[in-house]
Structure 1
Amino acid sequence: MDRLFWGVVLRTTQSALQAAPFILTGLIITGVLHRLMGHAATRRMFGSNTLTSLAQSWVIGMLLPGCSLGVIPIVKQMRLSGIAVGTIFAFALSSPLFDPMSLLYGLTLSKPETILAFALCSLVVVMVCGGLFDRWFPNTEVQAEEPRATPHGIRRVAAVLLVMMRESVGISAVLIGVGLLGAGLLSLFLPAGSLQRTMAHDNPWSPLLMTVIALPAYATPMMAMGQLGSMFQHGNSIGAAFILLTFGAGMNLGLVAWMGWNYGWKKTAIWFGLMLGFVIAFSYGIERPLYPREIEPADHTHAFDTYCQPFLPGFPPPNGYPAEIALKLRRETQPHEIIGAAALLVLAIGGAALRIFDPSQRVEAWLARPRDEATLPAGRWDIVLPGPVLAVASLAVIVAFSVMGCFAYYPSASESIEELRLANSEAMDGAMTRHAAHAEHWIPLCQSWNRRLLVGMYLRSGTVSDYVRMKSKIYRDQLELLEHMVEDEDPPEELRRQALTSTRAYLALSRAIRETEAKSSL
């Protein structure tokens, strides 16, 4: 029982940390829409109850970085702005699926036409399902009072911050918690490693099995793209991959609970039935046309281990479960996740203080008080911009930062290959000295830098040569074989031999990168 409990704790905490930057972004967007743009301008930007509005929301969702948890406060704000549910879910489904960073990542993991086909299928799904639902239920737009305008200056910034604080401890936080708990509880029903030999291309049940797993699961866009890449590389079901992206990254139990709470469970069931029907139909329809025939199917994959129990029965950690969880989180948590979690904690503390000491929103009322403009000094460069203009500019800045983040997360080839050299040295040292935990920590980092290397090259040159791709694949395959040997505790001599083979594959990749860069500089 301890093993199961602490497994849920670990999976829930991992999901929360991975989601933290996206939840923070969602709160920022919510504050901007509420305090700067207002209900009427928000409704004009997204549209409502038309096929055009469905496409608009899908495009906006594709541009803004987000995840299925981070969109919860945004869809709540969209509803208050009088937007129909079909349009709301067109945004809610597209925002977690693709953003500039994850789209680039996906384009290098598979044939570009596969990822573009997934994007097109998602557009068709939201257009058809949203159009049908809005036609059957045309009166889902609510009428809410327009928020009181806040005078320009620092007051508007403070008003946005207050919205973020209150949302961080409001109903949005509860729904986000529901989504996180669903991801954690999923591990209760999936023993460690139980999905390693599932999702085969020739198994007609793979898309349906993935549907059952993906609905309560949580995956960030990058995580989902990484899992898709592993599925493509191992020859798994393309249909199951599409369902993983659509439901694993695009939906969570918190979103379902939000819709049921606001629109009733009958409408929610109809919407969900439409989504299930069309997504599953698409998954079977694209299975054969998009399947990469040149890939030799592997007999198993570790892509879905993150949804399963993290601890094996009968093998408790020597230092106890809490210490093991702390060690895993310390090793796996990325800096941007720590920053996002810290920012959310600060917002939550502020939000809790507001709920206790200012439940009637007196601070917001004070900020909205008109002031005598004639008594204010006018500077030469002082320009008063309307709130909606600032809102659009703020959203554009978020998109710009997302694009800039691509260049930061996917550095140049020379920088990536240096990081890969360091990670490879650590991984091989762990394997050859039989320090399994050390090797199991560094081998995934090698695989990550191997993928980021290709994306960085694609981002800067628009292409990656087949020669480099081949060397990268050889290195990836050797790393995977080494990882399996470490897990299986193979004899020391065999581990040493495989570590040397992996190192030679890395050196061949490094040489291919240098040759490619030398040719491009001529």
Structure 2
Amino acid sequence: MWEAIVWGTCLRIAQASLQAAPFIFTGLCIMGLLHRLMGQQHTRWLFGSNSVASLLQAWVIGLLLPGCSLGAIPIVKQLRRSGIAAGTILAFALSSPLFDPLSILYGLTLSKPFTIVAFALCSLVVVTISGSLFDRMFPAIEPELSEPPATPHGIKRLLAILVVMARESVSGTAGLIAIGLAGVGLLSVLLPPGSLQRTMAHDNPWSPLVMTAIAIPAYATPMTAMGQLGSMFQHGNSIGAAFILLVFGAGLNLGLLTWIVLNYGIKKSLVWMGLMLAIVLGLSYGIERPLYPNELEAADHTHAFDTYCQPFLSSASPPAGGYPSEIWRRVRLETQPHEAAGAVILFLMVTLGEFLACLDRYWVIETWLNRPTEPTANPARRTWDVTIPGPILAGIGLATIIAFSIVGCYAYYPTPHETLDELSLAKTEALGAALTGHREHALHWIPVCESWNRRLQVGAYLRHWHLSDYHRMKARVFRDRLEVLEHMIENRDSDEEIRRQISLTSRAFLRLATAYREELSQ
């Protein structure tokens, strides 16, 4: 029993770590740009401070920059060092992980994209009211820190950004991120496999409260949270619980809450958390009926929250080959290329940070970086050596990050032709495994099919800015067929019934592929 729980916790933490890696690296990049190029004065100008307008600025900047609640930790630390008001910092910390270009595009292809727009506006209401009240109750609590020594223009200034990123990766930020990931492990210990499948019903008044208890220690990237929201909408779950999942599940984690307590004290932290709970719960109950899609028939259960539960059944036999090999198999199959690249870069960043910490005993690299550069006597070099102010370089860097996230949308959501090819391969794996009785293999590939089905719709929407009801219907039928097949495999239905469902699922895919290819040929 305990062996399954321990190894299951390791799997959940490993999955969350890989999902967070690209966003943590992005957060370190933004922190480095603000620290070494923007400076405290220009950071205060960018974010504003101690006004309602600054809360709106922080909310807009948070929506534009890609990130997650773990990647926001190094940024909020830098904002506090820059003397930004607490309400503005907390507004950014909460809004930055909620949406990014990838998740917004995903949300716009849902059957009711207005709901996503309403959620975004509600998040603005949350950060504005909570931030304004908090700053009014506790004014002027920002520290006044001196500016770090300026680094000369040129390559040294760029190296200084890398150095501060590396040092931050092995500072207290790493401990806070570990605490945030520990929340994922805590949930997997407390929640048995599949225990949330029949929760969050629309007609259950306790759904928002139950989701609050789960979402606060949970960790979800914007894309993960948006996918879970989509599943909740499609299954007729509670809209209020979906809003809480977005705000607290994607917006907060235990590491970020720990940072808030360490910097603002228990009293102020409890006041802020109390304001957040009152406003978010009030909004969640207020939007439940107006935004609920009454045309949908509520499903009796959903797999949207299985990622928060223990992945292994304690009563079942250990996987073939043992738990470590099963964890490696799942991680290898589920990890996206950008997640693997982010993990490698973070490993190199931590290695550099540890090397610099050891090097400090003999030579501090900042001493060399901050040493003024000797003027050159070469006229040609002076002609081409253009001095660009740090804030302008920082602005270019932030704009580049936003541009890369937009370009990344086209990579993550390929053309319908490419997506159909990938979906066909995943469908073959899932249906073939179901036909031959390989349950675990089929249960792995069915969610992969569902993911590519969603990416097919978003990719088409991204290139045409329109998705017809006809194409939505074909995708919905294929998704429903997959879901029924998944339930039949889990319930160990008869082979004849499973074969019949496999046939229906295959036909649904052929109709889906034909619908999209007919549109592409026109």
Aligned residue number for residue 318 of structure 1: 320
Cα distance in 1, alignment partners of residues 205 and 229 from structure 2:
18
Cα distance in 1, alignment partners of residues 359 and 387 from structure 2:
32
Cα distance in 2, alignment partners of residues 211 and 149 from structure 1:
45
**Cα deviation, residue 71, structure 1:** 0.4
Q: Which moved more, 1:3-12 or 1:239-248?
A: 3-12
2:115 aligned with 1:145, yes or no?
A: no
Alignment of 1:407-418 (within 5 A): 407-418=410-421
**Cα deviation, residue 109, structure 1:** 2.3
**Cα deviation, residue 355, structure 1:** 1.7
**Cα deviation, residue 360, structure 1:** 9.2
Confirm or deny: 8 A CA contact 2:126 2:280 kept in the other structure: yes
Q: Which AA in structure 2 matches 1:448?
A: S
Aligned residue number for residue 55 of structure 1: 56
2:372 aligned with 1:370, yes or no?
A: yes
**Cα deviation, residue 381, structure 1:** 4.2
Alignment of 1:72-111 (within 5 A): 72-111=73-112
Alignment of 1:54-453 (within 5 A): 54-315=55-316, 316-358=318-360, 362-375=364-377, 378=381, 380-453=383-456
1:395-424 CA-to-partner distances (Å, cap 9, x unmatched) read 000000000000111111111112111111
Q: Which AA in structure 2 matches 1:54?
A: L
**Cα deviation, residue 361, structure 1:** 7.7
Q: Which AA in structure 1 matches 2:519?
A: T
Taking a change above 3 Å as real, the CA distance of residues 483 and 159 of structure 1, as seen in their structure-2 partners, is same
Confirm or deny: 8 A CA contact 1:234 1:297 kept in the other structure: yes
Taking a change above 3 Å as real, the CA distance of residues 360 and 23 of structure 1, as seen in their structure-2 partners, is farther
Taking a change above 3 Å as real, the CA distance of residues 110 and 141 of structure 1, as seen in their structure-2 partners, is farther
Q: Which AA in structure 2 matches 1:345?
A: F
> After the TM superposition, which parts of structure 1 deviate over 6 Å for at least 4 consecutive aligned residues?
none
Q: Secondary structure at the match of 2:193?
A: coil
Q: TM-score, normalised by structure 1?
A: 0.98
Cα RMSD between the aligned structures? 1.2
1:157-206 CA-to-partner distances (Å, cap 9, x unmatched) read 11000011111110111100100011111111100100000000000000
Cα distance in 1, alignment partners of residues 358 and 195 from structure 2:
46
Taking a change above 3 Å as real, the CA distance of residues 90 and 434 of structure 1, as seen in their structure-2 partners, is same
Confirm or deny: 8 A CA contact 1:30 1:164 kept in the other structure: yes
Cα distance in 2, alignment partners of residues 343 and 424 from structure 1:
33
Cα distance in 2, alignment partners of residues 338 and 367 from structure 1:
32
Cα distance in 2, alignment partners of residues 359 and 51 from structure 1:
46
Confirm or deny: 8 A CA contact 1:39 1:147 kept in the other structure: no
Provide the identity percentage: 62
Cα distance in 2, alignment partners of residues 306 and 445 from structure 1:
14
Q: Structure 1: which 5+ residue stretches go unaligned?
A: none
Q: Which moved more, 1:135-144 or 1:294-303?
A: 135-144
Cα distance in 1, alignment partners of residues 239 and 472 from structure 2:
21
2:466 aligned with 1:463, yes or no?
A: yes
Aligned partner (choices 480, 483, 492) of residue 483 of structure 2: 480
Q: Secondary structure at the match of 1:474?
A: helix
Confirm or deny: 8 A CA contact 2:87 2:135 kept in the other structure: yes
Confirm or deny: 8 A CA contact 2:179 2:254 kept in the other structure: yes
Q: Which AA in structure 1 matches 2:370?
A: A
Q: TM-score, normalised by structure 2?
A: 0.98
Taking a change above 3 Å as real, the CA distance of residues 126 and 505 of structure 1, as seen in their structure-2 partners, is same
Taking a change above 3 Å as real, the CA distance of residues 390 and 360 of structure 1, as seen in their structure-2 partners, is farther
Cα distance in 2, alignment partners of residues 110 and 74 from structure 1:
34
1:358-380 CA-to-partner distances (Å, cap 9, x unmatched) read 16982112101111223465265
Taking a change above 3 Å as real, the CA distance of residues 196 and 361 of structure 1, as seen in their structure-2 partners, is farther
Taking a change above 3 Å as real, the CA distance of residues 58 and 359 of structure 1, as seen in their structure-2 partners, is farther
Cα distance in 2, alignment partners of residues 304 and 321 from structure 1:
22
Q: Structure 2: which 5+ residue stretches go unaligned?
A: none
1:485-512 CA-to-partner distances (Å, cap 9, x unmatched) read 1222222221111111101000111111
Alignment of 1:510-521 (within 5 A): 510-519=513-522
